[in-house]
Amino acid sequence: MTESPGLVKSLRPYHVWALGVGIVLVGEYMGWNFTIAKGGVLGSLLAMLVAGTMYVMISLCASELGSATKLAGGPYDWARLFIGPGAAASVGLAVYMEYIALEAADAIVVAFIAQEIWPDLQVFPVTLLVIATLTFINYRGVVAALTLNFFMTAIAFLAIIVFFFSGTFGVFEMNPERLFQGAVPNGLIGLFAALQFGPWFFLGIEGAAMCAEECKHPSRAVPLGQQAGMITLLVGAAMTLFVCTMLLDSGVPAEGLGVSVYPLFEAAQASGVYILIALLALGTLLTCLSSANGCVCDSSRSWFALSRDHFVSPWFSTVHPKYQTPYRAVIFTMPIAIAFAFSGYLDQVITFSIVSGLLCYVLIPFSLIRFRKLFPMNISNVRPFISPLQPWIAWFAMAIAIVIMSTLFWGYKYNLLFALAFYLIAYFYFHNRHKKHIKHFDWSKEMGWPNPSHHDIKE
C-alpha cells in the first residue's frame, strides 16, 4: 500500500449514519415488496427477520474492521489485509459494481418520478442530469455531500415514522384482515423464495464503514454511526412492512402490493390523508437522491483504493489539492453509471447489484475471522472496538448469505451464474496483476500494528 495522499478527516458519527442509511433507505421505499409477491405477508416478515439477522452480524463485523483499519476501501481493504490480493480485488470490484449499479437504478427512478410530476420531461436527460449533479457534489467535498445526505435521509425516515404512528394512533383506518388474506399465497416454498429479496431492506449498510479514513475519530464514529444506521433500518423496515400490508392488498401475488413500484407512496394514497401523501412522495424522491449520492461516495472510494494498490491504473488515486477528494475516481463513476443506466435493464442491473453485495457478505465476515486469527491481541491501536459473539456470528452471517444467494436460483439463475463467473475471472486477473507489483508488507509502517501472529510462529 502506498501512503494515503491526504483525504480530509472531518466526518462525524452522523455522517456515517447518513452514508449508510442514505444508501439503503430507498430499499424500504421500493423493492422490498417483491418479498410479498413471492411469499406473502409471512414470507416478507421472515425475509426481513432473516436478512436483518445477517445484516446485524455483518454490520458488527464491519464496525470492528472499519474502526481497526481506518481505510477508505472498506471491504476491499479488509480482504487485502487479511485474506489476499485476488479476493481483495474481486471484493473491491464487487463493491464498486454493487454501488454503481444501485446509483444508476436510483437515478432512473428519480427521472421517472420527475416525469410523473412533469410529463413533458424525458427520462434519459434527467437521469444524466441527476448523475452529473451528484458527481459534481461529491467532487467538491465529502462533508458537503454527506451533510446533504443527512438532511435528505432524515426527512425520508421521518416520513416513515410519521406514517406509521399516524396509522397506529388512528389518523386513518388500517385493515388487519389483509394480514391473514395475504399471509402465504404461494405456500411454504414461497416463504423460502421470499428470502432472495430480503436484502432489499438493508442492502449496502456495510458501506457506512467506507468513510472511516475520512472520519475525525473513526473508532468512535464508525461503530456508533453504523449501529445507529442498522437500528434505523430495522425500525424502518418493520414500520414499512406493517403499514403497507395493512393498507394494500397482498392476497394475489401478481397484483397489488407485490408488484407496486412505489409501495409506501401507494399506501399513503390508500390512507387518503393528503399531507401523508405529500410527505411520502417527498420521501420517495429524497431517498432515491440520497441513495445515489451515497453510492457515488462509496463506489469512488472503492475504485480509489483499488487504484492506490495498482489493481487499476494509479492515475485514479490522486487526491484533489483543494477539496481533498479522490476526484478522478469520483468523476470516473459517471461514465460507468451512465452505461448501466442506459442499458435499459433496470431489474438486471439491480440483481447484479444484489449478487455483488452477497459476495461481499461472504467475504466481510471471513475477513473478520482472518483478522481475529492474525491479530488475536485486543490492544487499542489494533482493535479499538471488539464486536461481541465472534467468530460465531461471522460464520452464521456467511451461512445466511450463502442460503440467500442460493434462493436466487428461483428466477435469476443466469444472472447468478454470470455474476459468479465474472468475479471468478476478476479473481484470476487481479491475482496475476498483483504479482507484478508484489512487495513486502510492513505492518508496523503501514498500519502501526505489531506483526501478525503467524509471523511469530515462523520466526
Partner 1 sequence: MHEIKQATHTQVAHEINHEKYEQGLRKDTYLIVVALALLVIVQGYVVYIVLSYAGPAVSAGIRGLYLVFFLLVVGIETIGYWEVRKSLKQHMHELRYYD
Q: Is 183 exposed, middle or buried (0-12, 13-18, 19+ CB in 10 A)?
A: middle
Q: How many whole angstroms separate alpha carbon 104 and alpha carbon 128?
A: 10
CB count within 10 Å of CB 1 equals 18
Confirm or reject binding of residue 241 to partner 1 (CB under 8 A).
yes
Confirm or reject binding of residue 179 to partner 1 (CB under 8 A).
yes
| Nearer residue to partner 1 within complex by CB, 42 or 94 | 42
3-state secondary structure 361-423: HHHHHHHHHHHHHHCCCCCCCCCCCCCCCCCHHHHHHHHHHHHHHHHCHHHHHHHHHHHHHHH
Residue recorded with cell 491526504: 6
Question: What residues have CB less than 8 Å from 441, skipping those under 6 apart?
Answer: 1
Instruction: State the minimum distance, in angstroms, from the CB of residue 241 to partner 1.
Output: 7
Contacts for 445-450: CB closer than 8 Å, 24+ residues apart:
446/1, 447/69, 447/81, 448/381, 449/375, 449/381, 449/382, 450/375, 450/377, 450/382
Query: What cell does 322 get?
Result: 483543494
Beta bridge partners of 341: none
Q: Which stretch binds partner 1 (CB under 8 A): 140-148, 238-246, 292-300, 451-459?
A: 238-246
- Of 3, 120, 177, 459, the one binding partner 1 by CB under 8 A: 177
Residue recorded with cell 507489483: 437
| Nearer residue to partner 1 within complex by CB, 168 or 343 | 168
| Nearer residue to partner 1 within complex by CB, 234 or 252 | 234
Confirm or reject binding of residue 374 to partner 1 (CB under 8 A).
no
| Nearer residue to partner 1 within complex by CB, 53 or 269 | 53
Instruction: State the minimum distance, in angstroms, from the CB of residue 59 to partner 1.
Output: 8
Confirm or reject binding of residue 93 to partner 1 (CB under 8 A).
no
- Of 1, 16, 26, 42, the one binding partner 1 by CB under 8 A: 42
Instruction: State the minimum distance, in angstroms, from the CB of residue 315 to partner 1.
Output: 35
Confirm or reject binding of residue 447 to partner 1 (CB under 8 A).
no
Q: Which of residues 245-284 bind partner 1 (CB under 8 A)?
A: 245
CB count within 10 Å of CB 440 equals 4
What is the three-class DSSP state of 148?
Answer: helix
Q: How many whole angstroms separate alpha carbon 65 and alpha carbon 374?
A: 13
Confirm or reject binding of residue 180 to partner 1 (CB under 8 A).
yes
Confirm or reject binding of residue 129 to partner 1 (CB under 8 A).
no
Instruction: State the minimum distance, in angstroms, from the CB of residue 351 to partner 1.
Output: 24
Query: What cell does 219 get?
Result: 473508532
DSSP letter at 176? T
- Of 82, 242, 303, 430, the one binding partner 1 by CB under 8 A: 242
| Nearer residue to partner 1 within complex by CB, 128 or 246 | 246
Confirm or reject binding of residue 230 to partner 1 (CB under 8 A).
yes
| Nearer residue to partner 1 within complex by CB, 59 or 307 | 59
- Of 3, 118, 170, 176, the one binding partner 1 by CB under 8 A: 176
Confirm or reject binding of residue 217 to partner 1 (CB under 8 A).
yes
* Cis peptide leading into residue 391 (ω within 30°): yes
| Nearer residue to partner 1 within complex by CB, 47 or 71 | 47
Where on the chain is the footprint of partner 1 (CB under 8 A)? 40-42, 45-46, 49-50, 52-53, 56-57, 60, 63, 164, 176-177, 179-180, 182-184, 188, 191, 217, 219-220, 223-224, 227-228, 230-232, 234-235, 238-239, 241-242, 245, 380, 384-389, 393
